[in-house]
Amino acid sequence: MKIRKKAPKPALTKPPLYLIGYRGTAPPIEELKAWYDLHYGGPLLGQEGSGSPTLIVRHGPWQAHIATKLPEANAAEWHRLLAWGHQALGTVAPTAVGPGIIVDTILLTARLARGLTLLTQGTAFDLTCHDYLNPSDWQDRPLNMFMIQDHVSIRHQETEDGAADWFYTLGLTKFGLDELELIQPRGLPERETIELLLSAVDEVQRGGHNPKVGQNLDLPDLAQTVRIVKHRTAAPTGQMRAFRQIADVSIEG
C-alpha cells in the first residue's frame, strides 16, 4: 500500500502589524530578499500564498506574511483609516505562533516592514501602536538585539473626568499580553512615570505572561516594585484592549 505524505499545513496568519503606503511600483520580492540578507544575514526564503497576493517568508524557524502591493479593493478598506496620500499599500503580518518564538517572529515582521518602507521610500503605520514611521524613523538594530521600546509606545492623556493623568502602553498585545496603565494625580513629573512603565513593560514581556491582579512586580533596574491593582478594558484608539493597571508600591506605603 502506498503511503501518502500529508501536505504541510499553511502557516496561520494574524492581522497585519504594519501597513506600508507608497507611490509607484512595488519592489520585486527578490529586491526585498537581497536587502534583508544584506542587513540581517539571511537567507530570507519565500513562497507565494495560494490564491492571495500574500507571500509567506521565512528566516530560520520564523515566518511572516507580506504583501508588497494589495489589490485596489483591499487597499481601499485600509486607506479610509489612514492620514496619508499614498496610492499603493503593502502589509506585513506575523504568523500565529506559540510564546517560545513570538519575540523573534515580531522582530522578523518589524524588519520586513522596515525593509519595505526603505525600498519604497514610503510610510509605515504600526496598527498596534498607532505610530507613523517614515524611513528615517526606524531604529537600525543588529540581528541579535531586541529592545522592547522599539515595539511598544507610551501614551499620556487625562482621565475621562479630567482629575488625573492616564499613562498607558500600546504594543504589548503584539506579544499576546495585556497592555499596562498607570493613573496618577495631575502635575507629577512625566519622565519618572514613563521610565516606570517602560521598566514594567520589559519585565512583563520577559516573563511572557500576564501578571495576576494583586501580584507584585520587581523592577531591578529602578530598584522599585509595582503591584497589579486592576484589570479592565478600554479603547483609547477606538479598538477595545485589555489593560492591567500598575501602582508604585513605595508610593502606596
Instruction: Say what the pLDDT of residue 8 is.
Output: 40
Reported pTM: 0.88
Question: How does pLDDT run across 139-189, given as a tens digit for each residue?
Answer: 888 878 889 999 999 999 999 888 899 999 999 999 999 999 999 999 889
Residue 76 has pLDDT above 90, yes or no: no
User: Could you give the angle at which helices 29-40 and 102-120 cross, rounded to 10 degrees?
Assistant: 120
pLDDT over 50 at 10, yes or no? no
Q: Phi and psi for 127 in degrees, rounded to 5?
A: -65, -25
Secondary structure class of 13 (helix, strand, coil): strand
For residue 35, the one-letter residue type is W
Enumerate the domain spans of the chain.
Answer: 18-146, 152-252
pLDDT in tens, 90-103: 999 998 888 788 99
- Whole-angstrom Cα distance, residue 73 to residue 68? 15
* Cell numbers describing residue 129: 501602536
User: Per residue, what are the HEC states of 61-104?
Assistant: CEEEEEECCCCHHHHHHHHCCCCCCCCEEEEEEEECCCCCCHHH
CA dihedral 242, 108, 143, 99 (to 10 degrees): 50
At 18-47, the pLDDT tens digits run: 999 999 899 998 999 999 999 998 899 986
Is it the case that residue 56 has pLDDT exceeding 50?
yes
Q: Where are the alpha helices (DSSP H) in 87-243?
A: 102-120, 190-207
Across 110-126, average pLDDT: 96
R_g (Cα) of the chain, nearest Å = 20
Question: The domain 18-146 is classified under which CATH number: 3.30.70, 1.20.120, 3.30.310, 2.40.160?
Answer: 3.30.310
